[in-house]
Amino acid sequence: MEIIKTDEAFRTTIASKEPITVAVFKATWCKDCHFIEPFMPDIEQKYAGRIRFVEVDRDDLPELCGELNILGIPSFIAFQDSRELVRFVNKLRKSREEIEQFLDRALQVAEVLDQSK
């Protein structure tokens, strides 16, 4: 997973139209963030070519996280063409199944938006 270190890099990354970009907001001290680490590579592989995953450390970009209203971590936001499609943001631990449901929903939203153009 690509690690985003600057606000500019984040904005450039989410401007991509294809594939969808999912930003995963984490922190090194977050136990729930470490909980998802073992299965995230498998999820990335499963969605390869359809979703690009990037990681943002909440402590590295606090202003951006404030702007995006990231209150709990890990949090996931799907973007396409600089617009937010859908988010999975709360303070609870996330399971693999919940993350995959979120990713499937993000793909569905992107498809609907593409059809409406």
**Sign of the torsion angle spanned by Cα atoms 6, 12, 15, 21:** negative
Q: What is the pTM of this model?
A: 0.92
The secondary structure of 35-77 as a DSSP string is: HHTTTHHHHHHHTTTTEEEEEEETTT-HHHHHHTT--SSSEEE
The pLDDT tens digits for 61-95 are 999 999 999 988 999 999 999 999 999 987 778 99
- The domains found in the chain, sorted by start residue, are 2-108 (3.40.30.10)
Higher pLDDT, 37 or 115: 37
Q: How confident is the model at residue 32 (pLDDT cuts 50, 70, 90)?
A: very high
